[in-house]
Amino acid sequence: MSKQDKCLQLRFKPYHLQLKHTFTLAKSTRVSTPTMLTEIGYNGMVGYGEASMPPYLGENHDTATRFLQSLKLDQFKDPFQLDDILSYVDQIAEGNYAAKASIDIALHDLIGKMRDQPCYKIWGFNPKDAPDTSFTIGIDTPKVIKQKLKEAAGFKILKIKLGLDNDKEIIEAIRSMSSVPICVDANQGWKDKHQALDMTHWLKEKGVIFIEQPMPKKALEETAWLSQNSPLPIIADEAVQRLDDLKKIKGIYSGINIKLMKSTGMREAHKMITLARELNMKVMIGCMTETSCGISAAAQLSPKADWADLDGNLLINNDPFTGVKVNDGKVILLNKPGIGVKKRT
């Protein structure tokens, strides 16, 4: 084994995810998402990672490149020293959460391969406990939404993006074709708490099971009032990113949406699940638009979640990996080492 093989070797390259449909949220529209694909090599083995960077996160190829170039991972001789390595990565610079997640994911994949075990098995999770994943439908015209519904055939829960002035029209279009349960994500689009409360009652009648980030993340008092009066659980997304954010939102939200690109990766996401349970909060494992690398990494945590929204790889048409499977809407964790992904040839 050469001297270079005895230390961590980082490689990365920019990549653009091409969306199958224009993706419209309450505050933005896009047709692609920048991501950074990372690899960490050690002793002839390679772990894969990813940093998906939708614009609202404030990261891009340039920021990720600068951050990753600043890392000196070759000072570490043992990939199992996760605390030391990830503490070093976290302290190099503020922010850069997705870029940090790309290192965390690659390390977990590498360690799993070295132990010849899937990450979920190393953590002691039962793959049968993995929940159904929702399929996301962005804001669009009723005609296009009905087309997207055909692509969602087989999924047992739908995630519907709301937050504009045609919310009811969208839900009615969904219900004209499907009776499956719905979760709603308003992406901070609702501004008035009384109108928001009226919508929660109406949505409950339409078979909605929870509402994600209905109001601006800084509207804490209004959101707390809404949570106390809503017939549906109110779930935090933009309002919570990392572990330290959780205690700040206790009593304001009913649960949290944990995403690896916000939490800096799998290690902190695992800690967030533990703390959320201690705080008696619901847990959703979510995603950005990602390749099968990011989705498969998040899926390792899914057996400990109430809900999963792990469809980001299904919304793109240029996935460079194969990984976690979805069968009739259920997340199927593979018995493959690490996060269970393989590069497409």
Q: Point out the domain boundary residue: 88, 116, 144.
A: 116
Q: pTM value?
A: 0.93
Q: Point out the domain boundary residue: 97, 116, 135.
A: 116
Q: Check whether residue 286 and residue 144 sit in a common domain.
A: yes
Q: How many CB atoms lie within 10 A of CB 248?
A: 12
pLDDT digits (tens, 9 = 90+) for 162-211: 988 889 999 998 999 899 999 999 999 999 999 999 999 999 999 999 99
Average pLDDT score over the chain? 93
Is the pLDDT assigned to residue 25 strictly greater than 90?
no
Q: Point out the domain boundary residue: 56, 88, 116.
A: 116
Question: Is 278 or 26 the better-scoring residue by pLDDT?
Answer: 278
Range of the domain at 266: 121-343
pLDDT for 28: 60
Q: Check whether residue 251 and residue 335 sit in a common domain.
A: yes
Q: Biggest alpha carbon distance in the chain?
A: 66
Q: Half-sphere exposure (CA, 13 Å, Cβ side) for 295? A: 29
Number of domains composing the chain: 2
How far is the C-alpha of 182 from the C-alpha of 91, rounded, in Å?
40
Rounded mean pLDDT of 286-293? 96
Q: Could you tell me what percent of the chain has a pLDDT over 90?
A: 84
pLDDT digits (tens, 9 = 90+) for 120-134: 999 999 999 999 999
Rounded mean pLDDT of 277-305? 97
Q: Check whether residue 260 and residue 329 sit in a common domain.
A: yes
pLDDT for 44: 95
pLDDT digits (tens, 9 = 90+) for 103-159: 999 999 999 999 999 999 999 999 999 999 999 888 888 788 888 888 888 899 999
Which residues, other chains included, contact 149 with Cβ-Cβ below 8 Å and sequence gap of 6+? 137, 158, 174, 177, 178
Domain with residue 90: its CATH number is: 3.30.390.10
160: left (phi over 0), alpha (psi -120 to 50) or beta: beta
Q: Quick check: helix, strand or coil at residue 208?
A: strand
Residue 190: closest CA among 216, 170, 212: 216
Q: Check whether residue 156 and residue 261 sit in a common domain.
A: yes
Residue 340: closest CA among 288, 300, 290, 285: 300
80 confidence band (pLDDT: 50, 70, 90): very high
Q: Judge whether 68 and 106 are in contact, CB under 8 Å.
A: no
Is the pLDDT assigned to residue 1 strictly greater than 50?
no
Q: Check whether residue 211 and residue 287 sit in a common domain.
A: yes
How far is the C-alpha of 41 from the C-alpha of 8, rounded, in Å?
6
Domain with residue 141: its CATH number is: 3.20.20.120
Is the pLDDT assigned to residue 2 strictly greater than 70?
no
pLDDT for 30: 66
pLDDT for 150: 85
Which residues, other chains included, contact 310 with Cβ-Cβ below 8 Å and sequence gap of 6+? 133, 285, 286, 287, 295, 298, 299, 302, 324, 326, 331
